[in-house]
Structure 1
Amino acid sequence: MKNYFYTFILVIFIFTSCNTAKVDASKSKIGNSKDVHVVLLAGQSNMQGAGNFDNLNASEIERIEKVSSRVSLSFNGGKVEPLSYYDNKPSEKYEFTKRFGPEIFIGLTLAENNPNQEFLLIKRSQGGTALYGAWNPNWTAEKAKAVEKEKKQKIQLYNLHIQDIKENLKALETQNKTYKIIGLAWMQGENDAAKEISATTYEENLKILIKSYRDEFGIINMPFVIGQINSRYGKYKAKGPAMVRKAMEDVANSDKNVDIVKTTTDTSWSDYPKHMDNVHYNAEGQKRLGKAFGEKLIILNK
């Protein structure tokens, strides 16, 4: 009788241990701090950035330097570097030499909120490009010709970004590092707002873009944060910007895993300050934009 009793106890113990192991494994997949958290960044000139790094104060620069050992950036297919500014060739428009986009404060916000976490930001951006054309996952030469300037009609930015991402993820694997893609920040739309064909189809094209990124990496609910445009230029400026702005809000409202950084159309640009061109965010604007993106990604990942 004793033997039967001990056998019964042993079976119960093994069953319980196995189930506990399964639960623990499941938890580790959801929130394993050993994973490199990967953030995707995409868009046109305001994602590329025109912030003057030297306009940041000493405290902000010190904070950035403090997290740069665990926050890295790959920009337009370039090698992975610690989070910092990129070199700018001085011009009449931007005379400074140290330039940055929203990635600086996206990385800083995420890192300070997760003090033991490693991050990799993979960014692809190019000014003066459209979702209807260069960024279209269903790119065609005809669509590109309809909206892009001649020198940009052969560029396929979505495909280039996918290539960037896969190369960086493969590099992590060769380093025996695991990773988790935690979302994408999208700052784009001004060029689409400039023409009727791209403005009227922006909502549909944005939904296709989001689905394409999710399908490509098998993350059905991948968080996606939209930066709302507020610039007015191009032949369709009377209707285009308002149309694209509304499309962005409608997409965000239709998907619980999509959020939006809303902006004002007040030309004082008091929410996200701009340069004198009234299009591109200055250092303060990029700082606030990056912080807003980072905070939205944190909320979507809870």
Structure 2
Amino acid sequence: MKNKLTILFILFGLGTLQAKKYKVFYLGGQSNMDGYGYVNELPGELNKPVEGVYIFHGNTASDGDIVDGRGVWEILKPGHGVGHKSDFHGNQLSERFGIELTFASELKKMLPGENIALIKYSKGGTSIHIDAAEDFGCWDPDYTKTNGINQFDHFLATVLNAYSVDDIDGDGERDELIPAGIVWMQGESDAHEKKIAENYQANLKRLIDLMRAAFLKDDLPVVIGRISDSGNDTDGKVWDYGNILRWQQARFVNQDSNAALVVSTDNYGYSDKWHYNTEGYIDFGKQCAIKMSELLEN
């Protein structure tokens, strides 16, 4: 991990005074960050490319796989939801989308004159706590139950690959990528056991601190999406200790002056017992953008 961070430090210093500047926002977490909205249910004004916004969507990989994070910078368009795949040549768009469409669209309105770029890497089912990883994966950098490669490694590789590109918009001139914020939607997998849920604030703080370090900005604004529960299970709860984890999320935000919590997730409908419906993802992106713009104004 130290070697990768060192390379990132070098890449972050490659900007020039003449470079076109892009504010970069990282989108990470588990499946409700992956995105389960249906592209064919998008209204016309959203079912099209978001002109002027570029995205680098790192290829999703499992713990133990060769470090991945492959991707290319392209104009943001629908299809960066679950099922998306990428290599160093292009994106294979899916039939789903996540928060990226409305997050970017709303930020463009709130930050007129700014250039916006997104880096996305997320994986469904992943936990932060090592004991909750199961077969989905773990974000703890010290998770070594496979061969030592975990989700934090894939995150770092994604960022490294994204920052290794000099010209993200293809205009023939060097671009400067300026870290501007993190949006994190995760926690459901840490809400199955009481003790794990009770430790979530500490685990989240450590992870966010390391992500901020990767972007060389220890006060980088962070927007957290609050987990919610569809209630579509035999006992009326999908996440047995979800309320404890929600309190831990609030505790993290309350103790971090550069963090905000999106709570509108409580009002969303579901397409299955785990994932929001199309309307939910449309609103979620907007609410994340509102919170992020408020943090950037402070």
* Higher gyration radius (CA): 1
285, 294, 298: which one pairs with 2:293? 298
Going from structure 1 to structure 2, the CA distance change for 1:123 and 1:169 (only over 3 Å counts) comes to: same
- 1:163 paired with 2:157, answer yes
Counterpart mapping for 1:53-202 below 5 A? 53-61=39-47, 64-65=48-49, 67-76=50-59, 77=69, 78-86=71-79, 98-133=95-130, 134-142=137-145, 156-172=150-166, 176-202=174-200
Deviations, residues 52-111 of structure 1 (Å, cap 9, x unaligned): 1121212333xx53x33333342433222211122777xxxxxxx621011111111112
Q: Which has the higher helix share?
A: 1
The 8 Å contact of residues 58 and 119 in structure 2, kept in 1 or not, is answered as yes
CA distances 1:106-139 after superposition (whole Å, capped 9, x unpaired): 1111123234332221111111111113443432
Residue in 2 aligned with 1:285?
Answer: 280
Amino acid at match of 1:242: N
Superposed displacement of residue 217, structure 1? 2.4
- In 1, Cα distance between the equivalents of 2:281 and 2:46? 13
Partner SS, residue 165 of structure 2:
helix
Cα shift at 1:197: 4.2
Aligned to 1:94: none
Show the 5 A alignment for 1:221-240: 221-231=219-229, 239-240=240-241
Change (3 A) 1:57 1:195: same
Unaligned runs of 5+ in 2: 1-14, 60-68, 84-93, 131-136
Per-residue deviation, residues 149-198 of structure 1 (Å, max 9, x unmatched)? xxxx9761122111111221121379521121110000111111012342
**Residue equivalent to 1:274:** 270
Equivalents in 2 of 1:234, 1:258: separation in Å?
A: 35
CA distance in 2, matches of 1:218, 1:294: 22
**Is the contact between residue 36 and residue 278 of structure 2 (CA under 8 Å) also seen in structure 1?**
yes
Deviation, 1:209, is 0.9
Unmatched 5+ residue regions in structure 1? Answer: 1-28, 90-96, 145-152, 266-270
Identity %: 28
For 2:224 and 2:140, locate their aligned partners in 1 and report how far apart those are by CA, in whole Å.
17
Cα distance change, pair 186–49 in 1 and its aligned pair in 2 (3 A): same
After superposition, the Cα gap between the structure-2 partners of 1:288 and 1:238, relative to the gap in structure 1 and judged at 3 Å, is closer
Give the count of matched residue pairs.
247
The normalised TM-score by structure 1 is: 0.73
Seen in structure 2, the aligned counterparts of structure 1 residues 60 and 179 have a Cα distance that, compared at 3 Å, is: same
Deviations 1:34-65 (A, max 9, x none): 4111110101110001101121212333xx53
Tell me which of 5, 27, 30 is aligned to 1:41.
Answer: 27
1:282 and 1:155 mapped to 2: Cα distance? 32
Q: Which moved more, 1:277-286 or 1:252-261?
A: 277-286
Paired position in structure 2 for 1:258: 259
The answer to whether the 8 A contact 2:260-2:291 is kept is: yes
Indicate the RMSD between aligned Cα atoms, in angstroms.
2.9
TM-score (norm 2): 0.74
